[in-house]
Amino acid sequence: MKLARVGPPGAERPAVHIGGRWHDLSGRWEDLDARSLTCETLDDLRAAVEAGSIDAPIEPERFGPPVAGIGKIVCVGLNYRDHAAETGSPIPAEPILFMKAADTVVGAHDTVLVPRGSTKTDWEVELAVVIGERAAYLPSAHAAAAVIAGYTISHDVSERAFQLERGGQWDKGKNAATFNPLGPWLVTADEVGDPQRLGMRLWVNGILMQDGNTGNMIFPVGELVAYVSQFMTLYPGDVINTGTPAGVALGRPGAPFLRPGDVVVVEIDGLGRQRQVVGAA
Ligand code: ZN
């Protein structure tokens, strides 16, 4: 199933895609959030879809973030060999984790703002995992599959000077307003199948900058979810950004960082496509 939140910012309604159209779910769910992302609730919806009992077609004018009330966003750094190489970093022996605040999240086609004082705002296409069940101390990558509600596209926008040149951890460069476009929709785990065979691409002003595949992750999705759960409890509605492949501005000759007016298109096979116009904070 494809699930989305459609409507103006702050007033989105949950929706499901059936037979080529979006259908309003607001009579059924208050929102697409921790309560609706559990296996049981998704199974109930799947049964209703299969029974043909959902018939409330709508024309979405905007896709908001596909998850409401995100508790936390856990990000994985340097999870693709080619990206580690382009940044001059060693291949990590264990996943590198950092956090991104949930208030950085915007819709897939919303404006991304270059922060004040920024000279190095950069792009990162990533596969995002959306958690559907509480998870602590998962015993294996296999066990992780049962806690994943689905997947969506995450654009982990990053300010490299703030991240790498201003001291401390990476947080300064990862948490500016609008720095995490998410969506346009969530695809449930059953429909995605194997998450390690998805092509991922990102263009800036029509030029292909990133052209990777989730099959090249150093630590695959199941391992990552199990690993994260050893250090913190995951809850329904939490998101894991699983890292970006090569091709970011930081690793390119001439370092072509984002400027107001640039247009970024982000795509992952089976998960749709984002498009953001860059503005100034
Ligand atoms: Zn990232």
Q: How far is ligand 1, taken at its centre, from the CA of residue 75, in Å?
A: 6
pLDDT at 78: 96
Q: What does pLDDT average to over the chain? A: 97
Q: How far is ligand 1, taken at its centre, from the CA of residue 148, in Å?
A: 19
As a whole-number percent, the residues of the chain with pLDDT over 90 amount to: 99
Give pLDDT tens digits for 102-146: 999 999 999 999 999 999 999 999 999 999 999 999 999 999 999
pLDDT at 96: 97
Q: How far is ligand 1, taken at its centre, from the CA of residue 81, in Å?
A: 13
**What count of other Cβ atoms lies within 10 Å of the Cβ of residue 115?**
18
Q: How far is ligand 1, taken at its centre, from the CA of residue 11, in Å?
A: 28
This model's pTM is above 0.95: yes
Q: Determine the average pLDDT of the residues in 49-53.
A: 95
pLDDT at 67: 98
pLDDT at 37: 96
pLDDT at 3: 98
- In this prediction, residue 179 has a pLDDT band, given cuts at 50, 70 and 90, of very high
Q: Determine the average pLDDT of the residues in 92-108.
A: 98
Q: Determine the average pLDDT of the residues in 152-176.
A: 97
The pair of three-digit structure tokens given for residue 238, joined into one six-digit string: 């939490």
- In this prediction, residue 172 has a pLDDT band, given cuts at 50, 70 and 90, of very high
As a whole-number percent, the residues of the chain with pLDDT over 70 amount to: 100
pLDDT at 148: 98
pLDDT at 100: 98
pLDDT at 257: 98
Q: How far is ligand 1, taken at its centre, from the CA of residue 97, in Å?
A: 10
Q: How far is ligand 1, taken at its centre, from the CA of residue 110, in Å?
A: 19
Q: Could you state, in order of their start, the residue ranges of all structural domains in the chain?
A: 2-64, 73-280
Q: Determine the average pLDDT of the residues in 250-256.
A: 94
pLDDT at 261: 98
Q: How far is ligand 1, taken at its centre, from the CA of residue 192, in Å?
A: 21
CATH classification of 73-280 is 3.40.50.620, yes or no? no
pLDDT at 38: 95
pLDDT at 41: 96
